[in-house]
Structure 1
């Protein structure tokens, strides 16, 4: 892969004796969505904080680059190329939505005219124009999340880290957020997404990785990951009892019978070749099913299978490490390096 938007080799991080990240690798193409899944305390937010320069990688980590810039030697260029939206809102409820955006424009050193132009565009893009003059404390959860992401976009980042961006949102607001994320990717932005909603990863991600006990235990597209877990099958239903009996005889021991429903179930990994083999066997015998459905495991099945030995791994140290990619992260990314000590 050439010129990935995010690349990490052997990323490590430990807090005392607690190893959070144990040599994990990323290589994420530009203009795609990469979703990182894992149980609470697995290290998802720690990975985001390292890649967004909020905390240093652990001893023994390999090379890391974000937005084409080396994290170790050019951290300020990384900050200029990224945006971060954390688990906790960075919105200041005491000022208006418009003022929140203008504040971010100031932090990015935009001129007043440019700041107002960008603010107006983002308010319109995120359907916040009517609420622009209202205190952000009066916004609904979905509106605050939209404003949060709008604030992230003030600096026109090409790489965005979204750390559980839809936590606490109702289904309608969550789907609206998905549309916004798809729009960002359509503009060529790379999105690094952590989420606990497996449906969200399934809907949005080009690639998904599962983090467990400090390691990436699986990575691939949603369809590739679903094939890891056994249990996929093809179900054939018949209305003619004679056709049902003939099909059961020709398909032999592979078929699980459901005599009451006149249905047969055959194991399948969801691939075209398996389905073709079943249909060819029926065609050769002159048998036609009235209904055929293909069932494959979903990401919930994958997640539970890959993390089934997990217990409640949260410790005080790890919980502290996993929190706080909100206001501090946003400010850290926007303020020049020489002024960082004042905001830490």
Structure 2
């Protein structure tokens, strides 16, 4: 596997790296009139390192991304300017390093749903996310130029072809990889996939930022409204691709069937933001297409996230072929996790 953009993944356990990162954090907090008051609480994944740091004005969160998700820092800074009511405004970011320092966002939607599993919480959260997407649609080209991955329908067929050439990531023939039969079927599927992408693009709904991992653990639910975070999987894409992970995560959490009317209602709550521009039939067709095509986007985002020599990546490596195999699901909400 080739390291993203030729960058070398950082060694987060290296003492010199930690001193440099901590110095940056302390400098940024000092500029904001804050100081650390207790020990760091770390969390490390192959794609990122997160520190929770207590300060005299409440906890803050430092995040360092690997090369495959480094765009998150510049993206959250841009979103904070475009839709400040929908995301946390960072205390500081270093786009080149892929570092961000954020205030605490309070409890998550998952916390709220743990006390009250009423799906009306999602009915209120989804329109705000749609508004964020609409607010950034005019910046799609600029976001791609800043390094946010381009997953627009026009380029997805070429991305799928390139992914199929990466036999190492697809683990062809391995127990947790693609079977040779599924691999050949995917090869044969390329023309049909390209045709579906063309149809989605022809519907004319503007591409924008697409979170690609929007579940209840990535939404803050505070008294001032919902804010959306953890943008490491994000791309510039058809907006409705979001629905694949979001509706699937809701389905699993609530043990609903894939065709439950409550999921349809949530889909329609989200699509409502576009009804002043498109009729319902067009929106539903676009949503179905975007969810069907979205398995490729998920596979690509996992490949970027796992573009590291960290041995812990092996724990997640099956996600790349696993998502890609779901391209053949009759109902993407019915497929596996």
The structure with more helix, counted as a fraction of residues: 2
Q: Greater relative contact order (Cα 8 A, min sep 6): structure 1 or 2?
A: 1
Category of TM-score, reference length = shorter chain: under 0.3
Structure number, greater radius of gyration? 1
- After TM superposition, the score normalised by the length of structure 2 is 0.22
- After TM superposition, the score normalised by the length of structure 1 is 0.22
